[in-house]
């Protein structure tokens, strides 16, 4: 069975925005939550564009610094980039690697701290 369909489904069902970039900083995939979150900046039209075009000079410097660190070692895989107080979440850059540990890209991971308020097992 092809695992790629399962992995894509995991990303697509996530309620957090997931934007995946290759090592050239090109946006190669956005899950539906990311398309919706970034709709005022172009949504799915951002796919194929450079992530660096979407950030200020300081942020671009940091992104390049982190990806260089990722490339130094297959053990360098996660960097806490900031805390978004308004949305009560931590944000990380995560390395994406091939089977031999080579860096193939990265994505931004959002970890929300706000406790879920929906009732358990609510199915609507």
> Which positions of the chain have pLDDT values less than 70?
1
pLDDT score, position 116? 87
pTM as predicted = 0.89
pLDDT score, position 1? 63
Give the chain's domains with CATH numbers: 17-112 (3.30.450.20)
- The DSSP result for 10-67, as a single string, is HHHH-SS--EEEETT-BEEEE-HHHHHHTGGGTGGGGTTSBGGGGS-HHHHHHHHHHH
pLDDT score, position 66? 98
What's the CA gap between 36 and 90, in Å, rounded? 20
């Amino acid at each position: 069975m092809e695992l790629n369909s399962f992995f894509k489904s995991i990303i697509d069902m996530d309620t957090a925005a997931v934007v995946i970039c290759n090592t050239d900083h090109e946006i190669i995939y956005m899950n539906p939550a990311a398309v919706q979150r970034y709709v005022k900046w172009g949504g799915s039209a951002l796919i194929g564009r450079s992530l660096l075009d979407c950030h200020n000079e300081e942020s671009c410097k940091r992104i390049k610094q982190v990806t260089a660190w990722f490339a130094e070692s297959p053990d360098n895989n996660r960097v806490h980039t900031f805390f978004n107080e308004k949305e009560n979440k931590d944000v990380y850059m995560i390395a994406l690697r091939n089977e031999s540990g080579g860096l193939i890209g990265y994505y931004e991971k959002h970890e929300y701290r706000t406790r879920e308020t929906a009732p358990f097992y609510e199915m609507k």
